[in-house]
């Protein structure tokens, strides 16, 4: 038996028992949450259809490779694999776009490959920066954003470099 | 609108590259396969995504999010001292942070916007230092359990989709720290020039 096979059953049981102890109707919470998950998914499917079409055309035509080699020497100095270039470019602009590119990278290289893992960690440790800034400042009526954008992009870049570093640290290359 | 340009750019570049490299057949196939893969992927990640959303909802109903919000208050008081003077703003910010941690994006954004609106009062359209910090905090992802990514990995045949969690946490913490430090540094430099 693998120790990591314990994690999921134990977590599920612990959450259920803890909830019952708090007299919470955990079953209706579970199904309500699952419904929420479904609405999230429904909202991303149309975008995924459009974006995965474009991304796989981009890969098949050789344009992806060209874009990656273009930035390869710069990225190597930062300790990043050049294959993730398209993901880094689209990440601050579009959340669904980043999901599509990362999915393509994970499928092409395997989920347990170095590149597949780096893509997943990058997706998990960064946000759709420009969208978030637009939503927050737009609704607060702010038009002078001052140093927000440079600081947020510095956080993104750190997240990218740290993702590759963290994957090497925990899994090797 | 930005995405319209990105999409058009990708499709036109693919066509041009396909013509140049003689891989137009592959490009044509890839377009159809990509659309197909999107639906296949969505179906194969649906189960895991729904399950984890359900588990997160149980934790939420059990009071985990309000406990997290309470735990973050002292830290937020130090990070945003002016905004924290207003009890309601502090409540919105700490709820925003805890919703982000739990990956409840739908809940996090309205809370964050409420806080941002209150903090933007009387600053004439220019963001205050603390408002910049709040937005930087929200542009950097801090998620305890990234369910979407885990379900994409599981859909690709990964048997331990959550094994990247420590790496995600480490990268997130580093990224948030650098973002906040950069914001502090730049705000001081901006003041020096004035």
Q: B35, A53: Cβ pair inside 8 Å? A: yes
Question: Number of helices and strands (H, E) in chain A?
Answer: 9, 0
The H or E element containing residue B174 is: helix B165-193
Mean of pLDDT values over B5-27: 93
The 10s digit of each residue's pLDDT in B43-65 is 988 988 899 889 888 988 898 88
Question: Number of helices and strands (H, E) in chain B?
Answer: 9, 0
Summary mean pLDDT of chain A: 91
Q: Which residue has the higher pLDDT, B105 or A169?
A: A169
Of the residues A27, A63, A68, A144, the best mutation for testing chain B's interface (the one with the most B CB atoms within 10 Å of its CB) is A63
Q: Per the domain annotation, does A94 fall within a domain?
A: yes
* Residue numbers of B between 117 and 136 with CB closer than 8 Å to A: 117, 119-120, 123, 125-127, 131-132, 134-136
Q: Is the pTM of this model over 0.80?
A: yes
* pLDDT reading at B193 higher than 70: no
* pLDDT reading at A61 higher than 90: yes
DSSP states of A37-48 as a string?
HHHHHHHHHHHH
- Closest by alpha carbon to A84, among A24, A1, A163, A27? A163
- Closest by alpha carbon to B36, among A57, A102, A83, A64? A57
The 10s digit of each residue's pLDDT in A85-140 is 999 999 998 888 999 999 999 999 999 999 999 999 999 999 999 989 988 998 88
Tokens representing B89 are: 């703003």
Distance CA A118, CA A109 (A): 11
Which residues of A fall within a CB distance of 8 Å from B109? 135
ipTM associated with this complex: 0.86
Q: How many domains, chain A?
A: 1
A33 near A24, Cβ under 8 Å? no
Question: Interhelix angle for A26-60 vs B2-21, to 10°?
Answer: 40
Distance CA A154, CA B56 (A): 30
Helix (H, G, I), strand (E, B) or coil at A62: coil
* pLDDT reading at B194 higher than 50: no
Cα three-residue angle A104-A135-B81, rounded to 5 degrees: 115
Q: Per the domain annotation, does A102 fall within a domain?
A: yes
Q: B42, A165: Cβ pair inside 8 Å? A: no
* Residue numbers of A between 23 and 62 with CB closer than 8 Å to B: 24, 26, 29-38, 40-41, 44-45, 48-62
Range of the domain at A116: 45-171
* pLDDT reading at B192 higher than 70: no
Q: Per the domain annotation, does A101 fall within a domain?
A: yes
Q: B183, A151: Cβ pair inside 8 Å? A: yes
User: Who among A16, A103, A167 is closest to B41 (CB)?
Assistant: A103
Quick one: DSSP state of residue A172?
-
Task: Determine the pLDDT at residue B191.
Answer: 64
B30 near A59, Cβ under 8 Å? yes
Distance CA B144, CA B100 (A): 9
Tokens representing A139 are: 């609704």
Q: B167, A169: Cβ pair inside 8 Å? A: yes
Task: Determine the pLDDT at residue B186.
Answer: 92
Summary mean pLDDT of chain B: 89
Flag the least confident range among A10-14, A75-79, B102-106: B102-106
The 10s digit of each residue's pLDDT in B142-185 is 888 888 899 999 999 998 888 999 999 999 999 999 999 999 99
Residue pairs between chains A and B whose CB atoms are closer than 8 Å: 334
Q: A61, B157: Cβ pair inside 8 Å? A: no
Chain B touched by A105 (CB under 8 Å): no
Which residues of A fall within a CB distance of 8 Å from B15? 61
Task: Determine the pLDDT at residue A2.
Answer: 63
Q: Per the domain annotation, does A29 fall within a domain?
A: no
Task: Determine the pLDDT at residue A4.
Answer: 64
Q: A51, B51: Cβ pair inside 8 Å? A: no
Which residues of A fall within a CB distance of 8 Å from B59? 15
The H or E element containing residue A125 is: helix A114-125
Dihedral Cα A101, B143, B3, B23, nearest 10 deg:
0
Q: A110, B38: Cβ pair inside 8 Å? A: no
Mean of pLDDT values over A54-64: 92
At residue B103, what are phi and psi to the nearest 5 degrees? 75, 20
Quick one: DSSP state of residue A22?
T
Sign (positive or negative) of CA dihedral A26, B95, B113, A136: negative
């Amino acid at each position: 038996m693998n120790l990591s096979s314990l994690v999921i059953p134990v977590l599920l049981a612990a959450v259920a028992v803890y909830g019952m102890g708090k007299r919470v109707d955990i079953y209706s919470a579970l199904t309500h949450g699952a419904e929420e998950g479904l609405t999230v998914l429904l909202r991303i499917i149309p975008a995924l259809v459009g974006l995965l079409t474009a991304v796989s055309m981009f890969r098949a035509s050789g344009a992806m490779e060209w874009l990656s080699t273009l930035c390869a020497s710069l990225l190597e100095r930062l300790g990043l694999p050049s294959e993730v270039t398209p993901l880094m470019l689209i990440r601050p602009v579009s959340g669904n776009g980043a999901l599509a590119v990362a999915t393509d990278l994970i499928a092409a290289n395997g989920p347990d490959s170095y590149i597949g893992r780096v893509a997943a960690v990058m997706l998990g440790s960064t946000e759709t920066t420009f969208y978030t800034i637009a939503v927050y400042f737009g609704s607060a009526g702010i038009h002078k954003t001052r140093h927000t954008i440079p600081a947020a992009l510095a956080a993104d870049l750190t997240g990218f470099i740290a993702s590759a570093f963290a994957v090497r640290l925990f899994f090797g290359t | 609108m930005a995405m319209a340009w990105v999409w058009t750019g990708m499709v036109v570049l693919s066509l041009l590259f396909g013509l140049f490299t003689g891989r137009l057949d592959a490009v044509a196939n890839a377009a159809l396969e990509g659309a197909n893969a999107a639906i296949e992927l969505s179906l194969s990640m649906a189960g895991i995504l729904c399950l984890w959303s359900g588990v997160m909802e149980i934790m939420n109903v059990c009071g985990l999010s309000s406990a997290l919000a309470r735990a973050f208050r002292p830290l937020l008081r130090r990070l945003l001292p002016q905004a924290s003077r207003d009890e309601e703003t502090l409540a919105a910010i700490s709820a925003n942070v805890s919703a982000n941690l739990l990956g409840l994006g739908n809940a996090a954004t309205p809370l964050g916007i409420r806080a941002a609106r209150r903090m933007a009062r009387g600053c004439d359209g220019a963001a205050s230092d603390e408002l910049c910090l709040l937005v930087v905090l929200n542009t950097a992802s801090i998620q305890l359990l990234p369910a979407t990514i885990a379900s994409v990995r599981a859909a690709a045949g990964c048997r331990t989709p959550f094994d990247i969690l420590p790496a995600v946490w480490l990268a997130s913490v580093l990224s948030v720290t650098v973002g906040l430090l950069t914001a502090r540094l730049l705000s001081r430099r901006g003041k020096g020039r004035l």
